[in-house]
Amino acid sequence: MNVLEKILEEIEDHAIEFESFGMCDDYVSVGWAKDIIRSHMGDVPKCRECSRRKFYMQGYEDGKKNDGWIPVSEKLPEVGKMVKVTVHSSEWIGDYYSYWVPEEEKTYHPEERNVYDGYIDRVGMWKFCDDGGSVYACDKEFGTDKEIVYDVVTAWMPKEQIEPYSPAV
């Protein structure tokens, strides 16, 4: 018999019938019910040992890892140090203010996230280098102009220092 069944059985044993407005009902005082539940609280297995707790904690810890990514809201790298950055680019619409371009011909660009090399400059502004080697300044947050793409760094991680190959001697 599990703990909840024991509690229900004990509550039923303590139930008293009373007459209220011509009806008979089972009645247990709230105080008795609390006492009964408290008396069985020690019978519940400790959650530290239960398998669901272990799986929950494993998922919780994995979720905190962020695969090495450090949110910029938690910590920033040293100024000028090259790191890997996640750049969140806003959605934008090509020819948004070009009233002579029909709506159906305007180009919609969805928001996206990409990984680049980046750093914080001397004035505290994020910069990143795209795959073509061009350097771009980042915004602190998304703006409202739909014709402009806003780039915001959301997380970073140290660049791995790869050791050059040296043949075994």
Q: What pLDDT, in 10s, does the model give residues 3-31?
A: 778 877 877 776 665 555 455 556 667 77
Residue 164 lies in a domain: no
Residues 74 and 152 in one domain: yes
| Statement: residue 64 has pLDDT above 80 | no
What number is the average pLDDT over the span 96-124?
A: 87
Range of the domain at 15: 3-62
Residue 46 lies in a domain: yes
Contact 118, 85 (CB under 8 A): yes
Residues 50 and 82 in one domain: no
| Statement: residue 106 has pLDDT above 60 | yes
140's CB contacts (< 8 A; 6+ apart) are 152
The SS3 assignment for 87 reads strand
Contact 154, 86 (CB under 8 A): yes
pLDDT for residue 157: 92
| Statement: residue 131 has pLDDT above 90 | no
Contact 107, 95 (CB under 8 A): yes
Residues 128 and 75 in one domain: yes
Residues 112 and 136 in one domain: yes
Helix 30-40 and helix 3-14: axis angle, to 10°?
A: 150
| Tokens matching residue 154 | 């959301």
Residue 58: which H helix or E strand, with range?
A: helix 51-65
How many independent structural domains does the chain possess?
Answer: 2
pTM over 0.85: no
How buried is 32 (Cβ within 10 angstroms: 0-12 exposed, 13-18 middle, 19+ buried)?
middle
